[in-house]
Amino acid sequence: MNRLIRQKGFSIVEIALVVVVVGIVGLLGYTFYGKYQASKTPVAETSQTTSATNVSTPPSVNSTADLDKAQSVIDQTDPSGSSSSDVNQLDSQLSSF
């Protein structure tokens, strides 16, 4: 009668095996879900992200000549009031960078 001992709980090997199996299933699920999310990105969302990035990124200045040119454009502006043609002229000058 002493030979039959009731087992209470799980052994450490059984628990470790369950943890490993759950980890592998979770890793596979996480990987496949990431690929699923990347493939299901809407086209409109990516275009909005691109346009927002372009708007928030300032133009790069390559040399002091660019800075001097920009300063000359700023000096030419009249703070007392400008017409829309003045604004269009400044836009075309600044876009030449």
Residue 1 lies in a domain: no
Tens digits of residue pLDDT in 18-35? 999 999 999 999 999 988
SS3 letters across the chain: CCCCCCCCCCCHHHHHHHHHHHHHHHHHHHHHHHHHHHHCCCHHHHHHHHHHHHHHCCCCCCCHHHHHHHHHHHHHCCCCCCCHHHHHHHHHHHCCC
User: Are 67 and 89 found together in one domain?
Assistant: yes
Summary mean pLDDT of the chain = 74
- Chain centre to alpha carbon of residue 79: 39
**Prediction pTM value:** 0.36
Per the structure, the complete domain to which residue 41 belongs is given by: 10-57
Q: Which range, of 34-38, 81-85, 93-97, averages the lowest pLDDT?
A: 81-85
- Residue with the larger pLDDT of the pair 70 and 55: 70
**pLDDT for residue 9 is more than 80:** yes
What is the model's pLDDT at position 97? 60
* Averaged pLDDT for residues 66-91: 68
Residue 5 lies in a domain: no
User: Are 70 and 82 found together in one domain?
Assistant: yes
